[in-house]
Amino acid sequence: MNKSGRSIFKRLGSIIKWILMIFGSIYFVMIVLSFTSVPFWAYYRLGSKFPLACQPNYIIVMGAGGMPGPESLLRCHYGTQIAKRYPEAKIIIALPTISEDIYKSHAHKMLEEMVIHGIDSSRFLFETEGTNTREQAKNIAKLKGVGAKDCFLIITSPEHVFRSVKVFRKVGLENCGGLPSFSKELPTELLLSEDENLQKQLPPDRSPSLRYNMWNYLKLEISVLREYVAIVWYWLNGWI
């Protein structure tokens, strides 16, 4: 190998070294933060900034991938509860599907999940063409009967509330708030035996913070990081 080739490989090795160091540092910081409450509060703040300030005419249940799925079921659960509180409100399910196959779609399965729990099927509308939050907001704004003066409640994952509300307001639906579909965690004492609950210190393999909390917080960090990237992208495009 000539001198020029060795120089290229040396530079390439240096670049790879720096990339590994950067990613290693990021991973180390994420591991450290997973032992603190920082990931939860970052996640919580994204979902708690836009409480509803009016009585909703429309409850918008944002899709969350396949149905059944943990996020979709959570949103349906919250949608059912709020639909019972506001029985006059229409319910819009926003999830891409093939229009001619609506009855076999994941969007219709969300309707079925809510109907099983007592919601009248005549209250439902669908937005099935938008493939991102902005397109869904624009399409909902064009639905028959929907007006800028109506009040909207958006039900979505906690980290997605901030971006959703900002996008809906940007397309002209100013009177909207967000309801985050927080999951409920088991109390720590249920994960331990009676004797373990009486102990002040536990071995690492029995510590809930190592068995569950750390891993859950790592997942929250990824969700929050992904969402902040999306928020920056939407902001750069003028969508929020």
Residue 189 binned pLDDT confidence (cut-offs 50, 70, 90): low
Residue-level pLDDT at 116:
95
Q: Does a structural domain hold residue 65?
A: yes
Higher pLDDT, 198 or 237: 237
Containing 81, the helix (H) or strand (E) segment is helix 70-85
Rounded Cα–Cα distance for residues 140 and 218 (Å): 34
Q: Is 22 in the same domain as 39?
A: yes
Asked whether residue 59 is domain-assigned, the answer is yes
Interior/surface letters 23-54, b for 16+ CB within 10 angstroms, e for the rest? eeeeeeeeeebbeeeebeebbbebbeebebee
Residue 174 above 80 pLDDT? yes
75 and 159 part of one domain: yes
Residue 192 lies in a domain: no
Q: What is the mean pLDDT of the chain?
A: 85
Residues 172, 79 within the same domain: yes
Mean pLDDT score, 172-198: 74
Q: Do 167 and 125 sit in the same domain of this protein?
A: yes
The CATH code of the domain that includes 170 is 3.40.50.620
Question: What average pLDDT does the segment 23-46 reach?
Answer: 86
Look at residue 198 and tell me whether its pLDDT is greater than 60: no
State the pLDDT confidence band at 21, using cuts at 50, 70 and 90: confident
pLDDT class of 12 with cuts at 50, 70, 90: confident
3-class secondary-structure state, position 178: strand
Range of the domain at 226: 3-44+204-236
| pLDDT above 70 for 27 | yes
**Strands (DSSP E) along 46-137, which ranges?**
58-62, 90-94, 124-127
- In angstroms, the CA 84 to CA 123 distance is 11
Do 172 and 57 meet the contact criterion of CB atoms below 8 Å apart?
Answer: no
Q: Which of 66-80, 149-163, 167-181, 202-216 has the lowest mean pLDDT?
A: 202-216
Query: Which tens digit of pLDDT belongs to each residue from 71-83?
Result: 999 999 999 999 9
191 lies in a domain?
no
Query: Are residue 129 and residue 224 in the same domain, yes or no?
Result: no
d(CA 171, CA 168): 5
Residue 148's pLDDT is 83
Please check whether residue 175 lies inside any domain of the structure. Answer: yes
Peptide bond between residue 187 and the one before it cis (omega within 30 degrees of 0): no
Phi, psi of 225 (to 5 degrees): -60, -45
- Average pLDDT over every residue of 105-124: 93
148 shares its domain with 37: no
- Within-domain flag for 82: yes
Count of domains forming the chain: 2
Residues 13 and 82 reside in one and the same domain: no
Q: Are residues 176 and 211 in the same domain?
A: no
Res 4 pLDDT > 70 = no
Instruction: Check if the beta carbon of residue 153 is closer than 8 Å to that of residue 176.
Output: yes
Strands 58-62 and 90-94: parallel
> Is the residue at 36 inside a domain?
yes
Q: Are residues 166 and 95 in the same domain?
A: yes
Q: What's the rounded Cα separation, in Å, for the pair 83 and 51?
A: 16
Reported as a pLDDT band with limits 50, 70 and 90, residue 62 is very high
Same domain, 36 and 68: no
Residue 119 has pLDDT above 80, yes or no: yes
Residues 6+ apart with CB under 8 A from 171: 134, 137, 138, 141
Residue with tokens 């960090």: 221
pLDDT above 80 (res 100): no
Give this prediction's pTM. Answer: 0.82
Task: Tell whether 151 and 99 lie within a shared domain.
Answer: yes
Q: Which residues pair with 176 in a beta bridge?
A: 152
pLDDT-derived band of residue 53, with 50, 70 and 90 as boundaries?
A: confident
Which of residues 197 and 146 earns the better pLDDT score?
A: 146
Whether 106 contacts 97, CB under 8 Å: yes
188 inside domain: no
User: Are residues 155 and 57 both part of a single domain?
Assistant: yes
**3-state secondary structure (DSSP) of residue 149:** coil
